[in-house]
Amino acid sequence: MKLTVSTKPIPSDLAAFFICQDEQLFTMSIKKLKTNFPAAAVDVFANNEFSGKEGESVLLYTNDKKFPRVLLVGMGENEKFTIEKLRRATAAAAKKGRALKIESITMHAPDVNKGSAKEIAVAMSEAILLSLYKFDKYISDDKNGKKIKNVSFVPATPSDLKEFQQGVIIGEILAEGTIHTRDLANAPGNEIYPETLAKDAQALGHRLGFSVNVFDKKKIQSLGMGGIIGVSKGSENDPRFIIMEYGKQFKKQGTVVLVGKGVTFDTGGISIKPAASMAEMKMDMSGAAAVIGTFHSIAKLKLKRHVIGLIPSVENMPSGTAFKPGDIIRHYNGKTSEVDNTDAEGRLILADALSYASQYKPDVVIDLATLTGAVVVALGQHATGMMGNDQGVMDALRDSGEKTYERVWQLPLFDEYEKQIKSDVADVKNVGGRWAGAITAGWFLKKFIGDYKWVHLDIAGTAILESDKEYTSKGGSGVGVRLLTEFLIQWKNS
Ligand code: BES
Ligand code: ZN
Ligand code: ZN
């Protein structure tokens, strides 16, 4: 799909207007509308059929061949305007266009008092691309249906043009990274397994010019990464450890390491999961996918920052060769863990990656993992669970979360919880009992971090969606890419 910006409305199948409820702004928008579309607009307003309320929309047909359809989308009160409301309204307009089976849309940016032209452009363009995403690679028919090919934007004022154009480019890049993550997460387990996940990262690095190094089973074994070896033992598909590096020349300004859980399928292993909804465990590599998608976006943005990506990748299967409850594993840093439940596998492979991260002398390490069902119980699908050892980094991530609306919510890592993962036979046990499962998982990871600022993001609820949202469809959400990219843009080493 092509996104363009023009101060003069480009003729299309549908012209969309985003209109606030407030009297003055409403009158302004309507004036604009009436000058552009004298034939269409008058009656709806005369009859009070549209007042700009949030969620309201009206489709009008005109006899103007250049703009045969006009869509009015209500934005609510200007005072209560948020960028997220604009994302949702834009997504609604894009989906309306898809339902109408048209090929082009002209979107008129709203007249609002909040948000720069750039922010508005980022939000509108990412919302269009993300809301029209469908994982339809494996569906044989449905391919010939009309798709929206062109969307052109008209900035609120002509002087916004440059800024708006810059914003559209950024929005496109953020959507591209997010869609890459969604595609990886939604891909079935017979297509994405450790070897092919690594190939995907390598292909991306090759295309965008960053380095990717992949360790195979032999190398992982020789390094003493017992967690990765242990979890992968039951599978025919060998593990991989993927290392990505971007922007080495910016090392002076600090190094950020991103770690992603790359379990390409989680059956639970010998502690096997119930059959119902096991299929969604093909998305247990969403953390890894988010790290790859973030590299996609930051490399395209040419961000001036040194970023390392670490992905331990395994398939967790039950078999005669699988690891078992009661096994004791020795991790990369020499610490041991007792396996009480083979379904708590994510933390075992992350332990190796987190201790491996130390060698980069990172300023910040952020891990993303679909780690626990418990975080879904606590926060549902609307917030990522966040834990860590540095309030400053967590505050920054919270701000990035508000801005991108990939929101995070902090959970405490109080010392009291540590007792729950005490083992009688090893340094730590991989499960912590019934209560506070997301926190005890976080505590397990904390045992393996080095001398760096660390934040753990449990994305089990936000990465795998049960149903469609405004600009996200059921399945892999691609969460993490916009959050981390925004964080990396804003973050200053202190
Ligand atoms: N991959 C799962 C966590 C998960 C659950 C992700 C639901 C997405 C949706 C993880 O490996 C797991 O199975 N965790 C166990 C841990 C337990 C055995 C301590 C869980 O949460 O039940
Ligand atoms: Zn599991
Ligand atoms: Zn898992």
Query: 5-62: per-residue pLDDT in tens?
Result: 999 999 999 999 998 887 666 777 777 777 777 665 556 665 677 888 999 999 988 8
CA distances from 434 to 363, 369, 421, 437 (A): 34, 20, 11, 7
- As a whole number, the mean pLDDT across the chain is 95
Q: Is 185 in the pocket of ligand 1 (CB under 6 A)?
A: no
Q: Is 342 in the pocket of ligand 1 (CB under 6 A)?
A: no
Q: What is the pLDDT of residue 27?
A: 74
Q: What is the pLDDT of residue 30?
A: 73
How far is residue 84's CA from residue 90's CA, in Å, rounded to a whole number? 10
Domains 2-157 and 176-490 share a fold: no
Q: What is the pLDDT of residue 440?
A: 98
Mean pLDDT, rounded, for 459-476? 97
Q: What is the pLDDT of residues 158-203, one digit of tens each?
A: 999 999 999 999 999 999 999 999 999 999 999 999 999 999 999 9
Q: Is 465 in the pocket of ligand 1 (CB under 6 A)?
A: no
Q: What is the pLDDT of residues 325-360, one digit of tens each?
A: 999 999 999 999 999 999 999 999 999 999 999 999
Domain 176-490, CATH among 3.30.420.10, 3.40.50.2300, 3.40.50.11540, 3.40.630.10: 3.40.630.10
Tokens of 137: 């690679």
Query: How many of the other CB atoms lie within 10 Å of CB of 212?
Result: 22
Q: Is 315 in the pocket of ligand 1 (CB under 6 A)?
A: no
**Catalytic residue (one of 34, 95, 273, 469):** 273
Q: What is the pLDDT of residue 113?
A: 79
**Catalytic residue (one of 85, 87, 347, 482):** 347
Q: Please say whether the beta carbons of 221 and 248 come within 8 A.
A: no
Would the pLDDT of 254 be above 90? yes
Q: Is 69 a catalytic residue?
A: no
Q: What is the pLDDT of residues 390-445, one digit of tens each?
A: 999 999 999 999 999 999 999 999 999 999 999 999 999 999 999 999 999 999 99
Could you tell me the sign of the dihedral formed by the alpha carbons of 249, 250, 255, 259, in that order?
negative
Mean pLDDT, rounded, for 449-471? 98
Tokens of 492: 């200053």
Best probe residue, ligand 1, of 264, 284, 350, 372 (max atoms within 8 Å of C-beta):
372
From the CA of 263, which ligand is nearest?
3
Minimum mean pLDDT range among 44-53, 221-230, 256-265, 313-322: 44-53
What dotted CATH number matches 2-157?
3.40.220.10
Q: Is 347 a catalytic residue?
A: yes
Q: Is 372 in the pocket of ligand 1 (CB under 6 A)?
A: yes
Would the pLDDT of 112 be above 90? no
Q: Pick the residue whose CA is nearest to atom 16 on ligand 1.
A: 344
| More reliable by pLDDT, 457 or 52 | 457
Give the nearest ligand 1 atom to 370 CA.
6
- What are the start-end ranges of the H helices in 37-109? 42-46, 83-99
| More reliable by pLDDT, 471 or 58 | 471
* 8-state DSSP, 469: B
Best probe residue, ligand 1, of 265, 316, 343, 348 (max atoms within 8 Å of C-beta):
343
Minimum mean pLDDT range among 67-71, 230-234, 235-239: 67-71
Backbone φ and ψ of 86, nearest 5°: -70, -40
CA 445 to chain centre: 22
Give the nearest ligand 1 atom to 268 CA.
13
Q: Is 11 in the pocket of ligand 1 (CB under 6 A)?
A: no
Query: How many of the other CB atoms lie within 10 Å of CB of 221?
Result: 14
From the CA of 372, which ligand is nearest?
1
Domain ranges of the chain: 2-157, 176-490
Q: Please say whether the beta carbons of 62 and 39 come within 8 A.
A: yes
276 burial type by CB count under 10 A (0-12 exposed, 13-18 middle, 19+ buried): exposed
Q: Is 269 in the pocket of ligand 1 (CB under 6 A)?
A: no
Would the pLDDT of 230 be above 70? yes
Q: What is the pLDDT of residue 151?
A: 98
Whole-model pTM? 0.97
Count how many residues are written for the chain.
494
* pLDDT above 90: percentage of residues in the chain: 87
